[in-house]
């Protein structure tokens, strides 16, 4: 499967995830003090560290400034000679290193680290499709649960392990067909769940409207 990010980048991503969640939580839990004016409260909220995008974090993890230079060839046009950019992740050569295929140990480490996260949705998505693995062809989207191919050592057999390009294309073509069928299956299942759930919802809503109308008319 595709490519697994470098340990350096994964470590940085985990830091960013942690930072983002802490900052979001701090903002969410912020309460207005007794007697505090609305404007003062808003100013206090704005003065707290705000959640950042991944790119903003990667450019300047320590938030000490990220000077740029028009002549710079570095990623993000960062001035590589400025000491303030010493913390920039983009300027580290390890940034672009990646392992070919899905590295099971790295993915396991990352998946375990995801268990401590707040969002259930993100935990679920990360358990099926770890974000640290770049998916580059259709076969990479087949989750491990449904994967039929395995190496002798128990690891997942991946498309890039096939030397012949036509066979590799056939492998991923099969993956694409599976993705389409699975997507269609999810639609069918969703339609039935929707059908089962909706009558109750409709009935409940209709009852509320019915009772409200009755009460109004009776008055």
Q: Which stretch binds another protein (CB under 8 A): 44-52, 60-68, 112-120, 129-137?
A: 129-137
Q: Which of residues 7-46 bind another protein (CB under 8 A)?
A: 13, 16
Task: Count Cβ atoms below 10 Å from residue 219 Cβ, excluding itself.
Answer: 5
CA–CA separation, 109 and 89 (whole Å): 21
User: Which one, 16 or 78, has the nearer CB to another protein?
Assistant: 16
71 touches another protein by CB under 8 A: no
User: Which one, 78 or 175, has the nearer CB to another protein?
Assistant: 175
User: Which one, 45 or 203, has the nearer CB to another protein?
Assistant: 203
91 touches another protein by CB under 8 A: no
199 touches another protein by CB under 8 A: yes
Closest distance of CB 178 from another protein, Å? 10
CA–CA separation, 15 and 87 (whole Å): 14
User: Which one, 120 or 187, has the nearer CB to another protein?
Assistant: 187
Q: Which of residues 151-190 bind another protein (CB under 8 A)?
A: 158-160, 163, 168-170, 172-173, 175-177, 179-181, 183-184, 187-188
Closest distance of CB 173 from another protein, Å? 4
Q: Which stretch binds another protein (CB under 8 A): 22-30, 36-44, 80-88, 191-199?
A: 191-199
Please give, one letter per residue, the 3-state secondary structure of the chain: CCEEECHHHHHHHHHHHHHHHHHHHHHHHCCCCCCCCHHHHHHHHHHCCCCCCHHHHHHCCCCCCCCECCCCCCHHHECCCCHHHHHCCCCCHHHHCEEECCCHHHHHHHHHHHCCCCCHHHHHHHHHCCCCEECCCHHHHCCHHHCCCECCCCCECCHHHCCCHHHHHHHHHHHHHHHHHHHHHHHHHHHHHHHHHHHHHHHHHHHHHHHHHHHHHHC
CA–CA separation, 131 and 5 (whole Å): 9
117 touches another protein by CB under 8 A: no
141 touches another protein by CB under 8 A: yes
Query: Which residues sit at the interface with another protein, rule CB under 8 A?
Result: 1-3, 13, 16, 54-55, 58, 100-101, 131-132, 134-141, 158-160, 163, 168-170, 172-173, 175-177, 179-181, 183-184, 187-188, 191-192, 194-196, 198-199
């Amino acid at each position: 499967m595709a490519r697994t990010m470098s340990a350096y980048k994964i470590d940085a991503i985990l830091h960013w995830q942690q930072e983002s969640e802490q900052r979001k939580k701090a903002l969410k839990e912020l309460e207005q003090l007794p007697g505090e004016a609305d404007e003062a409260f808003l100013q206090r909220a704005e003065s707290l560290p705000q959640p950042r995008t991944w790119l903003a974090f990667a450019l300047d993890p320590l938030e000490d400034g990220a000077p740029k230079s028009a002549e710079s060839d570095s990623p993000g046009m960062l001035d590589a000679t400025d000491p303030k950019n010493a913390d920039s992740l983009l300027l580290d050569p390890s940034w672009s290193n990646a392992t070919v295929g899905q590295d099971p140990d790295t993915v396991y480490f990352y998946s375990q680290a995801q268990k401590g996260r707040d969002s259930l949705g993100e935990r679920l998505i990360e358990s099926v499709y770890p974000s640290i693995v770049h998916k580059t062809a259709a076969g990479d989207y087949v989750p491990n649960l449904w994967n039929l191919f395995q190496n002798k050592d128990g690891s997942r057999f991946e498309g890039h392990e096939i030397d012949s390009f036509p066979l590799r294309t056939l492998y991923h073509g099969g993956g694409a067909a599976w993705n389409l069928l699975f997507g269609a299956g999810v639609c069918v299942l969703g339609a039935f769940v929707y059908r089962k759930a909706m009558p109750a919802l409709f009935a409940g809503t209709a009852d509320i409207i019915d009772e409200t109308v009755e009460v109004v008319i009776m008055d």
